[in-house]
Structure 1
Amino acid sequence: MSWALLLALCALLLLAVQLLRFLRGDGDLTLLWAEWRGRRPEWELTDMVVWVTGASSGIGEELAYQLSKLGVSLVLSARRENELERVKRRCLEISNLKGKDILVLPLDLTDTSSHEVATKAVLQEFGRIDILVNNSGIAQRSLCADTSLDVYKKLIDLNYLGTVSLTKCVLPHMIERKQGKILTVNSLLGIMCLPLSIGYCASKYALRVFFNSLRTELATYPGITVSNICPGPVQTNIVKNSLTEEVTKYVGNDGDQSHKMATSRCVRLMLISMANDLQEVWISHQPFLLVTYLWQYMPTLAFWISGKLGKKRMKNFKSGVDADSSYFKFFKKKHD
């Protein structure tokens, strides 16, 4: 057998292995490689000061639990102080942290005038901010024709402007130290487009572009990393708390969550991204991950597919059926 043929067979085998990993994977190929061969969060993130917004539930709450086990100092922010205290108590129960290692800092991200004061409070308590995790946000489920403009304003104020404002308050401190990590929990809907969530998609698109652009401005500070974390469907209460046609109306139920990724797995992949300073990661089971690749690299085909699936999504929504899960029965499974 010639060397050329052997190399060709090896290349085909490698391609087949990568394709199999992708079809069975729950993250983009760069992230999966980092999980396999990259740096471990247990090595890289200990003894850091991490500020997590939206820490009272969902991804933010799970992130607090997993970070506490790594021995970091935590700042927990959200609007509901009682829920933050609950998360703090749980962190202390499952880790070696002491009460002084966790600061509960209530914060309304839409009240941008409070962000500078909050930042100073963190610096006064711990002296530094090593990692800022922008996790706060709200989703939307309603048709554009039925939706009040106030809903879109709230989505932009909370998901985009509030996050930008807090980042701007923390950034000068990181520039002064010439180091730090800024992670923003975006969404696969910051890459693709779907009906019923166009205001949410727009706010996440804006976030993605802002932080990708910010990374270019910080090129002279290689010690500061900016990461966009883009999860797909995750088992949280984000659908339940989604806005509908009016800012005072919410979906009120979680729908079918069996096709969604376990929150613990999503957060573990986020920590791997954090430890390896990945610039953008996509976290999701199939077929959402494949559709994201299509949106990124074959947008014309993605528009056609999303148009077909979007009709079914809107039909489900109008019929009171879960908007997403019913047409993914083939992929549907329970995740621990």
Structure 2
Amino acid sequence: MKLNNKTIWITGASSGIGKSLAIALSKYDCKLILSARRTEELEKVKALCKQPNDVSILPLDLANNEAMTSMAHKAISTFGKVDILVNNGGISQRSAILETSIDVDRKLMEIDYLGTVALSKALLPYFVEQQSGHYVVVSSLMGKFSSAYRSAYCGAKHALHGFFDALRLEHDKDNVKVTMICPGFVNTNVARNALTGDGSKQGYQDDMTENGLDVDVFVQKMIKAIRKEKYEAYIGKFEKFGVYVKCLSPRLIHKLVLRSKVK
């Protein structure tokens, strides 16, 4: 698939993967719609793009599910169409199950799962009407196998796979594509911004994230997966092989993750 002349809507575009993706895609002949809560940060990302006149800012809060239909209409009217929705927005979590408030579990599901689903459903009638569309969903390797201290995050990411696998099946006839992007450790601020058991931010980086893939390297691999319209893409260092290990032996991946002592 060529990205030229496409209109691509990216959520979570104010930092991390979303920011790097926007800058990288701006080098193609395409239009970009950037969404996140922080308008000032989105404006900074827009300024870094190669063709700022082809970039539009659309502030969006994934926690506000009721607003998604109007957000979809605004996005479509911005450049007259939307070809690809990159569902990148979300938050992470770092805390033991026993120490995690149910409110934190609820918040992760509301934002990472329901916010993404609500936005995707709001855009779906348009994709069906035009008989084309592509959902790119930034999940995680934690959507394929789990790790300790990420229970709420793993639950939300696993849920995304269940929903979008069903969407792909139901709308194959409408030429609607779904690509699940599953990052491993990527060097962004995701760990610093992760919620702890009481809902406060962790506030510091962990070694595994610090030593993860450079975000710009990750994004180039992500764009390649989008262009190939892959069903799923596992992008990381050694940790990506955990997906295949779990298929072979759930007991073995359990032992390997325990041994890694990831926190």
TM-score range, shorter chain: over 0.9
Matched, 1:305 2:247: no
- Aligned match for 1:244, one of 187, 196, 199: 196
Q: Does the 8 A contact of 1:133 with 1:185 survive in 2? A: yes
Shift in Å, 1:289: 1.8
Matched, 1:265 2:217: yes
Following the alignment from structure 1 to structure 2, what is the Cα–Cα distance between the partners of residues 244 and 219?
39
Shift in Å, 1:147: 0.9
Q: Deviations over 1:196-226 (max 9, x none)?
A: 00110000000011111111111212x3211
Q: Does the 8 A contact of 1:109 with 1:136 survive in 2? A: yes
Counterpart in the other structure of 2:176: 224
Shift in Å, 1:98: 4.5
- Aligned match for 1:182, one of 135, 156, 161: 135
Shift in Å, 1:305: 2.3
- Aligned match for 2:7, one of 36, 49, 53: 49
TM normalised by structure 1 equals 0.76
RMSD: 1.2
Following the alignment from structure 1 to structure 2, what is the Cα–Cα distance between the partners of residues 262 and 66?
14
The 3-state SS of whatever aligns with 1:181 is strand
Q: Deviations over 1:94-114 (max 9, x none)?
A: x2x242x21101000110111
- Aligned match for 1:129, one of 70, 75, 82: 82
The 3-state SS of whatever aligns with 2:134 is strand
Shift in Å, 1:123: 1.5
| Structure of higher CA gyration radius | 1
Gaps of at least 5 residues in structure 1 are 1-38, 314-322, 324-336
Tell me the amino acid that sits aligned with residue 85 of structure 1.
Answer: E
Shift in Å, 1:258: 4.4
Shift in Å, 1:195: 0.7
Matched, 1:72 2:30: yes
Tell me the amino acid that sits aligned with residue 160 of structure 2.
Answer: L
- Aligned match for 2:233, one of 267, 271, 281: 281
Q: Does the 8 A contact of 1:191 with 1:296 survive in 2? A: no
Counterpart in the other structure of 2:241: 290
Following the alignment from structure 2 to structure 1, what is the Cα–Cα distance between the partners of residues 247 and 7?
34
TM normalised by structure 2 equals 0.96
Counterpart in the other structure of 2:41: 83
> Deviating runs (4+, > 3 A) in structure 1?
none
Counterpart in the other structure of 1:58: 16
Counterpart in the other structure of 2:156: 203
Gaps of at least 5 residues in structure 2 are none
Q: Does the 8 A contact of 1:186 with 1:231 survive in 2? A: yes
State the identity %. Answer: 37
